[in-house]
Homo-oligomer: A and B are copies of this chain.
């Protein structure tokens, strides 16, 4: 997309400040640019909302997963989070040291993960915090807009995962 549509609308917006308004160049017409900006801003908001809980999105997600699948095998949970098994070891270890979860040997080489009472308690607080966060960041979205947003994001995820050769085909799936 080199030049965007008309010469201006999206093109060359006063070398503005990044954090606040838009950046420069004619980047604002790219889906990846808008997606990244929104994701970064939302995660920063998440971090503020979870500052006192001392949980980042990945840690919160693991607690949610273990709560949904008590005893889930460590490698399975790591794969669900997209975290390499080598990196997942210290990741789990940190939460275990905080007393939020325990590793339960299942068969000599496999660990099952379970939340402790403390972990369940923190998760309960975290769910409330994330609900507030979610409401805040989507407060300008109507129900139908949010539904459409999710539909679109899933389609972008699927389309981006497709191989180059597949890109030509597959009209409107999603």
Please give the residue numbers on chain A whose beta carbons come within 8 Å of chain B beta carbons, in ascending order: 1-6, 11-12, 15-20, 23-27, 30-46, 48-49, 56-58, 60-61, 64-65, 67-69, 72, 76-77, 79-83, 127-128, 130-131, 133-134, 136-141, 145-146, 148-150, 152-162, 164, 167, 170-174
Contacts and interface: CB of A to CB of B under 8 A. Distances in A.
Contacts of A1: 43, 56-58, 61, 127, 130-131, 134
Main secondary structure of the interface of A (DSSP, over half): helix
Contact of A3 (B61, B153, B159, B174): B61
Given A167-B136, A170-B139, A37 B4 contact: no
A64 B25 contact: yes
Contacts of A58: 1-3
Nearest to A14: B69
B26 A64 contact: yes
Nearest to A123: B2
B57 A36 contact: yes
A127 to B, nearest CB: 4
Contact of A154 (B34, B49, B127): B34
A83 B153 contact: no
Q: Quick one: which of A38, A45, A69, A173 has the most chain B CB within 10 A? A: A38
Given A1-B131, A57-B1, A160 B24 contact: no
A28 to B, nearest CB: 8
Given A16-B80, A35-B42, A36-B57, 16 more contacts: A1-B56, A4-B82, A6-B154, A15-B69, A17-B79, A20-B161, A26-B68, A31-B42, A34-B157, A36-B39, A41-B161, A48-B164, A136-B164, A139-B167, A140-B172, A140-B174
